[in-house]
Amino acid sequence: MILRNLYNDEKVRASWEALFLSTIILLVAGMSIGWFYLKAYEAVLESERRDLERLALAAAATIDVDHHRSLNSPDLTNSPAHLQALKPLFNFHRKFPDIHYLYTAIQTDEGIFFVLDTRSTDVFGRIPDRSLLDDGRLLIPYQQPSATIQKAFAQQRLASDYRLYEDEYGTFLSAYAPLWDSSGNFIGLVGVDIAEDEFMARLSSVRQAGLIGFIISLAFAAIIAFGHWHFRRHQFASEQTLRRREEKLMNNEFFLTQAQFMAKMSAWSINLEAMEVTFDGRFYAMMGYPSIEGDVTVPLWEHVQKYLHPDDQMLIQQHINLALKGDHSSSYRDSFECRYLHADGSIGYLSIVVSKISSDSELLINNNWHANHTTIFGVALDITERKRSEAYLQDLNRNLEDKVQQSVQRIRQKEQMLLHQSRLATMGEMLANIAHQWRQPLTAACISIQDLQMEAEEQGEVDVKFVEESVAIALEQMNFMSRTIDDFRNLFRPDKEKVLFCLKQTIEDAIFLLEPSLRSKGIDIHFSGQPEVVLGHPNEFAQVIMNIVNNSRDILSKRNVDNPAIWIHLEQNDGYPTVTIADNGGGIDAKAFPYIFEPYFSTKDTSKGNAGSGLGLYMSKVIVEQSMGGTISADNMEGGACFTITLNTREKIT
> Which architecture, in CATH terms, is 496-654?
2-Layer Sandwich (3.30)
User: Percent of the chain, pLDDT > 70?
Assistant: 70
Tell which CATH classification among 3.30.450.20, 3.30.360.10, 3.40.190.10, 3.90.550.10 matches the domain 63-122+132-202.
3.30.450.20
**Greater pLDDT, 445 or 55:** 55
**Greater pLDDT, 586 or 416:** 586
The lowest-confidence range among 262-276, 323-337, 389-403 is 323-337
CB 297 within 8 A of CB 277: yes
- Dihedral of the CA atoms 601, 604, 609, 614 (nearest 10)? -20
Query: Would you say the CATH fold of 264-382 matches that of 63-122+132-202?
Result: yes
- Res. 4: pLDDT tops 50: no
The pLDDT score that the predictor gives to residue 447 is 66
**One-letter identity of residue 10:** E
Instruction: For the beta carbon of residue 302, count every other beta carbon within 10 angstroms.
Output: 12
CB 578 within 8 A of CB 571: yes
**What gap in Å lies between CA 335 and CA 142, rounded to an integer?**
91
**What gap in Å lies between CA 420 and CA 417, rounded to an integer?**
5
Q: What is the pTM of this model?
A: 0.36
In the chain the first and final C-alpha atoms are separated, in Å, by 119
Q: Which CATH class is domain 389-493?
A: mainly alpha
**What gap in Å lies between CA 104 and CA 357, rounded to an integer?**
84
Kindly list the distances between the CA atom of residue 294 and the CA atoms of 202, 230, 248, in Å, as whole numbers in the listed order.
Answer: 78, 44, 21
**One-letter identity of residue 178:** P
- Res. 364: pLDDT tops 50: no
Give me the residue spans of the domains in the chain: 63-122+132-202, 264-382, 389-493, 496-654
Q: Is 174 exposed, middle or buried (CB count within 10 Å of its CB: 0-12, 13-18, 19+)?
A: buried
> Which architecture, in CATH terms, is 264-382?
2-Layer Sandwich (3.30)
CB 232 within 8 A of CB 17: yes
**What gap in Å lies between CA 553 and CA 541, rounded to an integer?**
18
- Res. 371: pLDDT tops 50: no
pLDDT bracket for residue 509 (50, 70, 90): confident
CB 389 within 8 A of CB 368: no
Average pLDDT over residues 309-323: 80
DSSP designation for 133? P
For the ranges 200-214, 266-280, 432-446, the maximum mean pLDDT occurs at 266-280
Average pLDDT over residues 558-562: 90
Instruction: Please give the helix or strand (H or E) that residue 500 lies within, else none.
Output: strand 499-502
The pLDDT score that the predictor gives to residue 368 is 41
The pLDDT score that the predictor gives to residue 120 is 78
pLDDT bracket for residue 526 (50, 70, 90): very high
**What gap in Å lies between CA 383 and CA 389, rounded to an integer?**
10
